Chains A and B, each alone.
Chain A
């Protein structure tokens, strides 16, 4: 029996720390473990005993790339516990803030983390040597997103302006944001055209998708939970459908949906479940990019992200156009004992929060289910399907393919509990 062990340093161009172990026997993968060894930070534990209105500021610190998602899911869970629904201009402002995060986070992933895979560069910065106009376009797009987050939220990373019921201060006028966003919209359309011309491996997976669904919007801020098998459930039923379990090889928990592991949340899921609700320009860009009604090729997720940037820019412009400052920056939210659930679409997928507030207005229990914990088992399935027919390839080539397959999902490993240590064992 021959044993072969290969090691490559941490997985790169992802947020967090991870490793991959593959065992194979007679040309078959017998064991495959995506190991997330990011140190646990215990947010759900440290939230206990905090005041009911603190989780938006504290959970923002789970992730520097998508703090708004944490703030939005936390706010909605706590507001629902307190019997408050934020509507009208305040909800519009929350959406606008969230579109800003989508633009900056997707632009970061598309240009600096993912595109180098297709063009053969180690980084976005290295790519700038021969693709400078594209990299500059990406940086400008990312900047437009960050400026939008800063204008509404106060700061691009860990915004300070969000509170239960709305905001601490609302902007008097959003029109100065329109010019930069119109330029960003053009850059986003150019991005779709640019990435759709990349050379994509011919891979398709039979994904089971999960995403929020809203009757009138391409769901980001709120909605019911929809699954591609045709079922749907309200967010407060999440614990009945999604169960997290600990696996020995990872500090990130694995989620099961209705008893089965291996579902996918994120851009491919949102597109499959909600594409008809994309903005007009985003829909047209998707059609011109040849995405089809459902995209099952994970390598093409970069195209879906680019389409989502178009959507975010166009919708943000629409919100700015119709913005009338609300009379009050926030609706009053008083603590009351009970349980609240909240979910929103982080750039990487559905982010669920649940809190129980006690009689003293303190957090008694907190539960956070980030997108990467949900996707982890499905990413392992992607890797298995990719590796098995290619076990004969040199390990360096195989590692590169695996890293690419993982990056397709833009895993935010810091959220879920960095990157790739491939151990391949031929038994």
Chain B
């Protein structure tokens, strides 16, 4: 049986938890692929190499830089899961400020804390075979990715915007109908247009779509009353690196 490994770097554990949250499918997934290395779920540490490695979290310490190279060496396919691994995560907000300043806010002895100046995606360090977006990732997309790699094909994951999902779901456009700031037009689909279904604007959990027209959206957001500071902040959340960390994303 082929082997699956799940690795964690700087993150909240939410994306690997998504695998355990496949309550109806977990035991059948385990019957199809050997969960050889998955520290959150098992004390058994099956030896590599692994056919598929799912990597959660961003690279944020000197040790991480070495460890991800090891993960790449022992993995036939490496798939990053979630905003931290594909974009640096919320902890990449340090990239805009400075890690020393951040450490000084949290720790009395920041000199005792080992952290890199920047929090970076996995692809900045090693070749990645596929990036699954989301903060957190979507359960159905995760099962699609595992199934696709088992079948030896590319995962069918859309690259279009959340707007398409919104239309499919029949949501009224919160931006047009309510003037609510929404990143849907520039954000990749995957969540099922969740936030607009809850009467709020998209805040970009899945990162930028394949060809975002941020300039057009930003003009609309300014017209709806957003200030420059607000506009900058709305892009600076969980995908700050891939959105470019600014309102010019």
B-contact bits for A38-68, CB 8 A (1 contact / 0 none): 1111111110101100100110011111010
B230 at the interface (CB under 8 A from A): yes
* CB-CB nearest in chain A for B64: A39
Tell me the minimal C-beta distance from B182 to chain A in angstroms: 12
Q: Are B24 and A112 in contact (CB under 8 A)?
A: no
Tell me the minimal C-beta distance from B18 to chain A in angstroms: 7
Total contacts A to B, CB within 8 angstroms? 183
Tell me the minimal C-beta distance from B133 to chain A in angstroms: 14
Instruction: List the A side residues contacting B45 at CB < 8 Å.
Output: 9, 12
Given contacts A44-B106, A160-B194, contact A248 B112 (CB under 8 A): yes
Instruction: List the A side residues contacting B215 at CB < 8 Å.
Output: none
Question: Which stretch in B35-43, B122-130, B143-151, B155-163 binds the other chain?
Answer: B35-43
Interface centre among A54, A132, A160 (most CB of B within 10 A): A160
Once the chains are docked, how many angstroms separate the CA of A39 from the CA of B89? Answer: 13
Instruction: List the B side residues contacting A9 at CB < 8 Å.
Output: 45
Give chain B interface residues in 1-60, CB to chain A under 8 Å.
8-15, 17-18, 20-21, 23-24, 26-27, 30, 35, 38-45, 60
Once the chains are docked, how many angstroms separate the CA of A419 from the CA of B94? Answer: 26
B177 at the interface (CB under 8 A from A): no
B85 at the interface (CB under 8 A from A): no
B166 at the interface (CB under 8 A from A): no
Once the chains are docked, how many angstroms separate the CA of A399 from the CA of B204? Answer: 43
Q: Are B43 and A12 in contact (CB under 8 A)?
A: yes
B135 at the interface (CB under 8 A from A): yes
Tell me the minimal C-beta distance from B130 to chain A in angstroms: 21
Q: Are B42 and A64 in contact (CB under 8 A)?
A: no
Instruction: List the B side residues contacting A10 at CB < 8 Å.
Output: 39
A157 at the interface (CB under 8 A from B): yes
Give chain B interface residues in 63-99, CB to chain A under 8 Å.
63-64, 89-91, 93-94, 97, 99
B108 at the interface (CB under 8 A from A): yes
| Cross-chain contact of B10 among A13, A39, A143, A245 (Cβ < 8 A) | A39
Once the chains are docked, how many angstroms separate the CA of A12 from the CA of B43? Answer: 5
* CB-CB nearest in chain B for A147: B23
Q: Are B39 and A126 in contact (CB under 8 A)?
A: no
Instruction: List the B side residues contacting A39 at CB < 8 Å.
Output: 9-10, 60-61, 64, 91, 115
B211 at the interface (CB under 8 A from A): no
Once the chains are docked, how many angstroms separate the CA of A142 from the CA of B60? Answer: 32
Instruction: List the B side residues contacting A40 at CB < 8 Å.
Output: 60, 103, 106-107, 113, 115
Once the chains are docked, how many angstroms separate the CA of A57 from the CA of B236? Answer: 13
Q: Are B30 and A419 in contact (CB under 8 A)?
A: no
Q: Are A12 and B39 in contact (CB under 8 A)?
A: yes
Once the chains are docked, how many angstroms separate the CA of A301 from the CA of B103? Answer: 35
Q: Are B91 and A139 in contact (CB under 8 A)?
A: no
B-contact bits for A164-180, CB 8 A (1 contact / 0 none): 00011100000000000
Once the chains are docked, how many angstroms separate the CA of A427 from the CA of B99? Answer: 38
| Cross-chain contact of B200 among A61, A157, A160, A403 (Cβ < 8 A) | A160
Q: Are B233 and A140 in contact (CB under 8 A)?
A: no
* CB-CB nearest in chain B for A117: B43
Question: Which stretch in A14-22, A80-88, A93-101 binds the other chain?
Answer: A14-22
Tell me the minimal C-beta distance from A255 to chain B in angstroms: 14
Tell me the minimal C-beta distance from A414 to chain B in angstroms: 5
Give chain A interface residues in 1-47, CB to chain B under 8 Å.
9-17, 37-46
Q: Are A13 and B42 in contact (CB under 8 A)?
A: yes
Once the chains are docked, how many angstroms separate the CA of A405 from the CA of B203? Answer: 40
Given contacts A40-B103, A169-B198, contact A51 B42 (CB under 8 A): no
Interface centre among B23, B42, B91 (most CB of A within 10 A): B23
Instruction: List the A side residues contacting B94 at CB < 8 Å.
Output: 42, 45-46
Q: Are B194 and A154 in contact (CB under 8 A)?
A: yes
Give chain A interface residues in 137-190, CB to chain B under 8 Å.
139-140, 142-143, 146, 154-158, 160-161, 163, 167-169
- Which chain A residues have a beta carbon within 8 Å of chain B's beta carbons? 9-17, 37-46, 48, 50-51, 54, 57-58, 61-65, 67, 104, 108, 112-113, 116, 122-126, 128, 132, 135-136, 139-140, 142-143, 146, 154-158, 160-161, 163, 167-169, 245-246, 248, 251, 253, 329, 403, 414, 418-419
Question: Can you pick out 23 interface pairs between chain A and chain B where the beta carbons lie within 8 Å of each other?
Answer: A10-B39, A12-B42, A17-B8, A40-B115, A41-B10, A41-B60, A42-B91, A51-B230, A57-B203, A61-B89, A63-B13, A64-B12, A112-B41, A122-B44, A123-B35, A155-B191, A157-B17, A157-B18, A158-B14, A167-B198, A168-B200, A253-B107, A419-B39
Q: Besides A108-B17, A122-B42, 4 other CB < 8 A contacts?
A: A46-B102, A65-B13, A123-B41, A168-B200
